[in-house]
Structure formats: C-alpha cells, structure tokens
Amino acid sequence: MNSVLVVSHLKKRYGDLIAVDGVSFDVMRGEVFGILGPNGAGKTTTLEMIETLRPIDSGQVLLDGLNVQREPQKVKQRIGVQLQSSSFFDKLTLTELLLLFGEMYERQVDAPALLEEAELRDKAKSYVTQLSGGQKQRFSIAAALVNDPVILFLDEPTTGLDPQARRHLWGVIRRIRSEGKTIVLTTHYMEEAEELCDRVAIMDSGKIIANAPPQELIRQLLAKGFTKERIERLANLEDVFLDLTGHSLREE
Amino acid sequence: MRLKLKLMWAALKMFMRQREAIIWTILLPLFMVFLFSFVKFDGLGHVAIGVVNHSQDTTLVAALRTIQALKISEGKTEQELLHLQKGERALVLVIPVAFQQIGNDSLTLYLNAEKPQETQTGKLIIQRALDELALRQSHLPRHMLRAELVNSRNLTYIDFLLPGILAMSIMQSGVFGVAFGFVILKKRGILRRLLATPMKIGDFIFAQVCTRLLILMLQVLVMVGAGVLFFNLHFIGSIFNMLLVALLGGVVFLAIGFALSGVSKSEDQVAPLANVITLPMLMLSGVFFSRENLPGFAHVITDFFPLTYLADGLRSIAIEGATLVDVLPQLFGLTVWAVITLFIAIKAFRWE
C-alpha cells in the first residue's frame, strides 16, 4: 500500500460543537479522493487541519511521511491548497500572481505552462477581478500547483459554478490527475464525486460513515435490496441545456 | 531577502495601479493645500470703517484711504449705522459739515461694541490722521520716525499649513490604508491563502510596512517639492530630517492601523474606529490652526497627541530649519508612542 496521506482519529471541537469527531482515512498516491457531505459536516475543518491551517485538537496526520503538527513548514512545501473562498491580490495580473506565489516557495515558476494547464493562457495579463467564477476557480488551482505539490487539496472547487464551468473544471482536474498528482477534494455534489473520485469518504456530523469507491458503495446499497422507484428518463433538463449551449463547453 | 524584495515590489505595483490610493495619499493633501492657499489668515486683517462725510473737505478721507490697515467705505449715516449693527463695520466716522473750520469736537465716532480690538486700533489710527492734519497746518517742528525695511521671511499661512497637512496625510494613509487593507485581506481569505504557503508571515508584514514607509517618503518629497515650487513654501530645513521624523510618525500610525485591523472583522467596523482615533487629532493637533487658542486643559492634552508631535516636528524642521536636536522632544514623544502602539498592534493583530 502506498499511502501518501494517513489521517488517524482526527478531532476538532469548537466549544460545545464537535466539528470533527475522530476521523480516519488513507489516501493512495495518484488517486482522487473525495470527501462528501452536507454543509457543516466537517469537511472543510478536516481539510484545514491537514493543510496546517487549523490546530489539531487530537489525532494525527502523516503527509508524505511528515507529521503535520511537528513539521508544518515542510508539509506546506509539499501541498497545493485551494481554499473554499480562495482569493488573491487585486491589482496583480495572473502571471504576476503565479510568479509571486512561486517566490513564496522559493521556486521559479513556468507561469505560461500553469495557465495553459488551467486553460487561462489568454488571461495571462488579466486581474483576478476580471475573471468569471469558473476561471477564478481554475486560476486558484493553477496557483495551488506552483510548487509542484505531492497532494492537491481542493475545497468545494465547483460550488457556485454553472454546469458548463463545472464540467470544464472536471476536465482540468482529470488532466492533473493523469499527470500523476494525488488530489483530495470535498464536494456536496454526488454526481461530481461519482464522476471524478476513485474513492469517497462520506461525512456527516463530523464522522466518516462510509469510505469506498463510488461503484462499491452503490453495489453495497443494491446488495441490501435497495430499489429506487424511477421513471425511465433518457435525458434530463441539464442534458437539454448542454445540447443547446454546446457540448464543447465553450469558454464562459 | 529576495522574497521580501519581491513582496515589496508586488505591493508597490499594486499601490501604483490603485488610482484611489494615489488620490488619497498624494493628490488630496495637495488639493487641500491648494484650497487653503486662497485663504488669507495673515496679519491683523483690516479694520472696516464706514465714513459719512457731510463736509466738502476730502483731505481726511483721502488720508485714511492711504492707510492699508483700514478698509474704508463711504455712505449715508443710516446705511453705515445699519452696517455697523450687522457687524460689517467696526467703526463709523461721521464728519460734520463744518469740519476743518472750527477745529474742536466736531467729529463723531460710532464703535462696534462687539469688536473691541478693531475699534481700538481704528480709533487710534483716526486720531493719528487727525493729528497729522492739525500738525501740517501749525508748521511746528516734530519728532519724525525714520523707518528702515528689514528683510524678514514673512512666513505665511501656507508655511504653517503645509507641514501640518503632510502630517495629517501620513496619519490618514497609515491608519486607514493599513486598517482597511488588512481587513480586506483578512475578510476575503487572502491572508489565509498566504498562510497555506511556507512563506514566513513576518516577511509579508515586513514587506507591507516597508512599502508603506516608502510611499510615505514619497508623500514627504511630493508635498515639500510642490510646496516650494507652487505654494511659495519657505522651506529652510533639511529634507533628511523631515524624512526621519516622518518615518517615525509613520511607524506610530501604521501600528495603529494594524491594531485596528486586528480588532475589526470588516470594513464597517474599521471605519468608525479609525475616525474616532483620527478626527480629534485632525481637529486639535494644530494641523490647520495653531493650538495657541485652545483652552488650557485641551492645550495640555493635545500636547501629547502623536499627530501634534509629528506636525510640530515637521513644521519646525521645514520653516524654522530646526535640527534633530531641536526637535528632540518630538522625536522622544513619537518614539514613546511607537513603542506603545507597536505593543498594542502585536497584541491585537489576528490573522483571521
């Protein structure tokens, strides 16, 4: 087993509220691991503890063999982080921002290549404020890649995006994965998890209640004798929308 | 070091690309000086005298008109008295028909009771003009004053005002610039994103502070330069001393800005706090007007305002050519404030 991230018995409490209640999971090198759950389930808090942004109450996180609590600086060197409301300085162009973030990791950055990866090449001289929602999220991923991280953390990368922008972003995430990066993402869209993730952990009220590949979880459910009353529909309104506005996912 | 320089360069670029920032820190103070350059607060001002001349003789009126300190207007008795009641005249002089012919009593002077200083001055000048007329007729020998012009530096209101406005703009850009800037960085999650990088956050603060101080030095150079070039500022001090005092003051106000951004969650919370701190200083620290006229206790309290130290220090250097030794009290005051405010800033500052 080649685990790049080992989380054991992670806990976080805010006053009376137990936000994360003994969470454990492993992430394999090269996989896309999804943490699913409704708002307030503790997904973001879990990620932020792994990312060194929030103190860990108890439990342990080993990232690429490093103890997150003991060696936060080294951990920061190895992770790429996209926060839920990632935001950047106003009056710097995308290229300038990428170069500046590179400096923070003491790295020379190939900004055009990163922008290419996020399909933002023609926006190199724009400010973040001039980008659409989807472009912002893609830039935020490009910025998370400046240090060529071992693991990329994406916190609800597609929340608030329209279907086209969401599919566009999925394309970017798949390509990054195909280049061998490990990705941990949170989402509350089941469809997204099914589409992108090799394995998912389902979280509710601070606990992980299931952890397996999506198809496996579905098999388990069906094995319990679950049947869903359904009307056969060969297409839905989203398909209509995509058909009308173009499958090629034109730039938003 | 490389990272610090890159961060500073980025911060400078951002500042230069932000039109509002340049307007607030550089252009607005200059505009204020420009506006105030039209106001004449210099000297005693004029004594407004209404003259009602019933006689044919105009020698007295002509003599009075040559005196620069007076503002003479002629009219009818009722009119002029009405003006006096409205406060537009300090005195009204009524010259009778029989003026110059008899020589005793004859002239009537109405005084505005609300303007004792002006009426006294006006009365003396009129009496003096009358004596002059009488002496001319008598041909008696008399003592003459021999007047010689001495070149003085005739400091104007602008000389007082410009260093004050400079101090004010240092305060405003320090307190408001930093407080708003950091609250926005905090609120929009930019600071959090930076915390996720291995960059030492101290480097980031260092770069921010250095950039602000660089901009502050630019403010000093632009204000003094524009003052000398366009506003006839009698600058005789050392620009290096100016920069030094300005930097020390800058540290105090930057620290206040950091402290405010530490205790506030949003722009809405920062604005009132920043105003509560800066407005009293703006009014009472001798930026626009000398503190001489403040009542005793206010005078004593405002002595200790950081803006007072900064404005007084900059002013003495600029127009009195004060050395650093001369402004030692101000330097000391600002240093004490710097220690206090930095301590509070470190205690109050929060990353999220």
Q: What is the pLDDT of residues A94-118, one digit of tens each?
A: 999 999 999 999 999 999 999 998 8
Contact (Cβ atoms closer than 8 angstroms) between residue A62 and residue A50:
no
For the segment A146-167, what is each residue's pLDDT rounded down to a tens digit? 999 999 999 999 988 888 889 9
Judge if pTM exceeds 0.90: no
Cα–Cα dist B27/B330, whole Å: 27
As a whole number, the mean pLDDT across chain A is: 89
Question: Of A79, A83, A90, which has the smallest distance from its Cβ to B192's Cβ?
Answer: A83
Closest residue, chain A, to B197 (C-alpha):
A76
Contact (Cβ atoms closer than 8 angstroms) between residue A104 and residue B198:
yes
Give me the total of CB pairs closer than 8 Å, taking one residue from chain A and one from chain B: 60
**Max Cα distance, chain A (Å):** 57
Q: Does B10 touch chain A (CB under 8 A)?
A: yes
**Sign of the C-alpha dihedral computed for residues B31, B32, B36 and B37 taken in this order:** negative
**Sign of the C-alpha dihedral computed for residues A145, A147, A149 and A155 taken in this order:** negative
Question: Of A73, A92, A101, which has the smallest distance from its Cβ to B14's Cβ?
Answer: A92
Per-residue pLDDT of chain A (252 residues; tens, 9 = 90+): 589 999 999 999 998 899 999 999 999 999 999 999 888 889 999 999 999 999 999 999 999 999 999 999 999 999 999 988 768 998 999 999 999 999 999 999 999 999 998 889 999 999 999 999 889 999 999 999 999 999 999 999 998 888 888 999 999 999 999 998 999 999 988 889 999 999 999 999 999 998 999 888 888 888 888 887 777 777 877 788 788 877 655 544
| Rounded-to-10 torsion of CA B155, B160, B162, B167 | 150
Which of these, A9, A48, A60, A5, lies nearest to A30 by C-alpha position?
A5
Question: Of A77, A87, A105, which has the smallest distance from its Cβ to B190's Cβ?
Answer: A87
Cα–Cα dist A13/A21, whole Å: 8
Q: Does B193 touch chain A (CB under 8 A)?
A: yes
Q: What is the strand order of the sheet A151-155 is part of?
A: A79-82, A151-155, A182-187, A32-36, A199-204, A207-212
Complex ipTM > 0.90: no
Question: Of B3, B17, B188, which has the smallest distance from its Cβ to A104's Cβ?
Answer: B3
Chain A closest CA to B194's CA: distance in Å?
A: 9
Predicted confidence at residue A252, as pLDDT, reads 47
**Amino acid, single-letter form, for residue B241:** N
Cα–Cα dist B262/B256, whole Å: 10
Closest residue, chain B, to A153 (C-alpha):
B196
Q: Does A14 touch chain B (CB under 8 A)?
A: no
Pairwise CB contact (< 8 Å): B197 & A101? yes
Confidence of residue B22 (pLDDT cuts 50, 70, 90): confident
